[in-house]
Amino acid sequence: MLKPALYLIPVGLGGGNPGEILPGHNSKIIQEIDEFIVENARSARRFLKSIGYSKNFDDVTFHILDKHTPEGSIPEFISSIKLGKPVGLLSEAGVPCVADPGNIPVILCQEKGFKVVPLVGPSSIILALMASGFNGQNFSFHGYLPVEKGDLKRKIKEIESLAYKQNQTQIFIETPFRNNKMLSALISTCSAQTKLCIATNLTLNDESILTKSIHEWKTVKVDLNKKPSVFLIYKN
């Protein structure tokens, strides 16, 4: 019988067979959970079906945690743990709480003394850093950079400076349909010798992870439109 705890459940980064990406141990744990905190119930059900989840969804509770969820309602999502039940926190893609919402239920569990169990799974940020060739002992994740052109240029210059001054890898992401604009902004803003890694469609069949200088990127023809990507900047 599964111990009462909040189980942090990773999901694959895209299509494909979850069994090729996620440990079988995860599925065994998930089979014993009938209460989940999710961002989208439909995609959560789709994932659970893909791993052979055997429970009837009519008997499963899905708590919706998204930008519209009142913070005051979140304690109720974990209340079953006090009653001796396990609760699962399910990511939309990758691992929960890293470049992903979900930290509030976790901190509430920590404050209440409830056990929190992170399960093993793919993180696009870590996978990209591993394959970039950049400093993996000193790095910073910035999430999304500003959208407005002037603000974006200033932010790029700021994090490029940090890469040199602090010997620190700078990591960020962009909404996939704006990826090409981001690449253009990086090429036009960064110094020619600065290194840029772009990791696209990680773990998928068409995965691409390329590290080049900004000067070299100027000669590369690449279409990143609507392809989930991670961008990393580092000094020459």
- pLDDT tens for each residue of 192-213: 999 999 999 999 999 999 999 9
Note the pLDDT tens digit of each residue in 27-43: 999 999 999 999 999 99
The arithmetic mean of pLDDT across residues 167-185, rounded, is 98
Residue 181's pLDDT is 98
For CATH 3.30.950.10, list the domain ranges present in the chain: 124-234
Work out the pLDDT band at 223, boundaries 50, 70, 90. Answer: very high
The pTM of the full predicted model, rounded to 2 decimals, is: 0.93
- What does the alpha-carbon distance between residue 7 and residue 86 come to, in Å, rounded to a whole number? 7
| Residue 114 β-bridge partners | none
- The three-class DSSP label of residue 139 is strand
Task: Identify the CATH class of 6-118.
Answer: alpha beta
State the maximum Cα–Cα separation within the chain, in Å, rounded to a whole number.
Answer: 60
Task: Identify the CATH class of 124-234.
Answer: alpha beta
Note the pLDDT tens digit of each residue in 42-71: 999 999 999 999 999 999 999 999 999 999
Percent of residues, the chain, with pLDDT higher than 70: 100
Residue 18's pLDDT is 84
What are the structure tokens assigned to 72, written together?
A: 């005051």
